[in-house]
């Protein structure tokens, strides 16, 4: 998940056009769509939301100082109220002037798609048995 957040931020921070323009909003929407765990991409100025992948403009909700910062220029916030005003815990991870929003429930292990073997135990049947796919 953190790898997706950092990759998404690297991608959107490479945008070189006018911020909050149609092209910028489309770029933020593409990033939010292409990365499975990203709920929203937000453009901020002075820790205030300006526009996002979900809305063309924001009321300037203030994120406040980050809860933590990393050694590679990343910042993180944990909040109980989203930038859209919903009372729902969310993680904000940012670098430069963009922030990606992640639902903290997504930090629970998710089995990735693909051809990975999965061990399954079926308990409580007539004969307990284990099966490996």
The pLDDT assigned to 60 comes to 73
**Mean residue pLDDT across the chain:** 82
Domain ranges of the chain: 2-132
| Percentage of residues in the chain having pLDDT higher than 90 | 46
Give the pLDDT mean for 91-118: 78
> In terms of C-beta density within 10 A (0-12 exposed, 13-18 middle, 19 or more buried), how is residue 97 classed?
middle
Answer whether residue 80 shows pLDDT above 90: no
- Given a contact cutoff of 8 angstroms between Cβ atoms, the answer to whether 94 and 44 are in contact is yes
Cβ atoms 54, 25 nearer than 8 A: no
User: In angstroms, what CA-CA distances link 24 with 55, 63, 107?
Assistant: 12, 21, 28
The pTM of this model reads 0.74
2-132: which CATH topology? Beta-Lactamase (3.30.450)
Q: Which residue has the higher pLDDT, 26 or 124?
A: 26
């Amino acid at each position: 998940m953190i790898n997706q957040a950092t990759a998404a931020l690297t991608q959107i921070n490479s945008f070189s056009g006018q911020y909050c323009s149609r092209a910028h909003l489309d770029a933020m929407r593409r990033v939010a769509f292409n990365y499975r765990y990203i709920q929203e991409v937000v453009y901020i100025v002075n820790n205030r939301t300006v526009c996002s992948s979900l809305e063309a403009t924001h009321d300037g909700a203030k994120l406040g100082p980050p809860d933590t910062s990393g050694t590679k220029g990343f910042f993180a916030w944990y909040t109980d109220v989203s930038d859209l005003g919903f009372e729902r815990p969310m993680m904000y991870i940012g670098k430069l002037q963009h922030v990606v929003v992640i639902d903290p429930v997504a930090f629970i292990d998710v089995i990735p798609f693909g051809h990975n073997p999965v061990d399954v135990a079926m308990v409580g049947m007539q004969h307990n048995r284990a099966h490996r796919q």
